[in-house]
Chains A and B, each alone.
Chain A
Amino acid sequence: MTAQPTHPHATGRITHDSSDYQLDPVDRRLINTLQIGFPICDEPYAAVASELGISETDLLERLQHLLHTGYLTRFGPFYHAERLGGGLTLAAMQIPAHDVERVTAAINRHAEVAHNYERDHALNLWFVVATEKPEHIDAVLTAIALESGYPVHNLPKQREFYVGLHFQA
């Protein structure tokens, strides 16, 4: 176990109002490392901790803290939706500014909607729909069109060239 400065969270210095917590260099290395992958072995955190030169306890506390402060949204596997037999599509709508809030609420009520962004274009609402079965995509999009009163463009993926959502912290 390497002696390292204890993480602020562990000392109790930062407990609740940690929304403006600033990452330290170890947090940054941790984020950069764990975006790439995670070992599947008996004691994976110990393996990562040793790679980062910190203790396992420190690593676990940092992960907890980064999840708590919202730097990390989740820790686990990323699935290939299609390979799991699920449906996945990108949908877009053109909604007048005065109606964006209402339509967004209608869209987001659907548990199948994963992301929803407003973008700087006439087609201004963009959202991802993920369903357990591919045939459910149409039902969700139809429901959204009916509830909102606007057409929905369905823009399914035909080929994936690259997925590399890694951010240098």
Chain B
Amino acid sequence: MRYVKLSSENFSSFFESLRNWGKVYAPIKRGSIYTFQEVHELGEIELNYTRTMLPPKKFFVRPRDEILRLKNGRWENGTDAEPIVLFGLHSCDMHGLKILDKVYLDEPADPYYKARREKTFIVGISCMPDEYCFCKSLGTHFAMDGFDLFLHELPDGWLVRIGSVRGHEVVWENGELFEEVTDEDLKHFKEFEERRANAFQKEIPQEGLADMLDLAYNSPVWKEYAEICLACGNCNMVCPTCRCYEVCDNWISAYDAVRERRYDSCFMENHGLVAGGHNFRPTRLDRFRHRYYCKSYFDPSSGYNCVGCGRCDEFCPAKIEHVKVLEEVRGSLR
């Protein structure tokens, strides 16, 4: 890794330089929530944000995505990718993208996701956890890769980690904005990370988690929560790793149709329904449990399917807490 320093006075010039890459999307505050939107000047950005409602997956797997377009009886590629900059991603969201990469870039790669991913320049930013965050216990609180540049807050600027060749190029082209990292910067960086590590209020104890959850398949806790759950699917929409999609064809004129995919949720009754009417997850209990199992699945190469961002807790209308459910299910084994 290469490290450089970006001082506070050069920050806006640096931001301007990113606009050469493409449209810049960054977190802004809208009402009481944060959201990634296109920004034109630094002042619009909310750098001290907690979490956006929709994770950055929306740029790669869009809520509604036209994948094919019917022209003269033939399907044509319906979508294209443009270069963009995602500015201000938190570490957990980068890990979320890595989990999506594993699914969408695995053979056969999804061409739309792949093209968008390749054309996106990612700038990470350090953050302070709030009461919902539990990324530290999942090891996703620090990104070692998955970004082009990562900005760590210092009292007088930013410590920049360069994570890719493209990151190097941007720093190279704007050499006058950056300087060498001093011992004092390192001290501040260390202090910040220590302060951050101590600020987490929630954690998932991982020891034997996957096995214990599996053993607790018939736990009454699932049932208790399934009764509280509204099955609205909010948690799926806001989850940075949930990616189920549904496909449908829509006619736009007598001659043109589009094949569109859109977010689907495993809480919907028809998620496991097959032709002829058999439903493989007929009850809300089945569907509730399925989501928790899907999120807690441990893949040896990419870890859990959960990055601890806390979105499902914050945006759950029934106030169901992910960690608490898992702890109670595990506790019910004793």
B is a partner of A: no
Task: Give me the interface of B with A, judged by CB distance under 8 Å.
Answer: none
Task: Give me the interface of A with B, judged by CB distance under 8 Å.
Answer: none
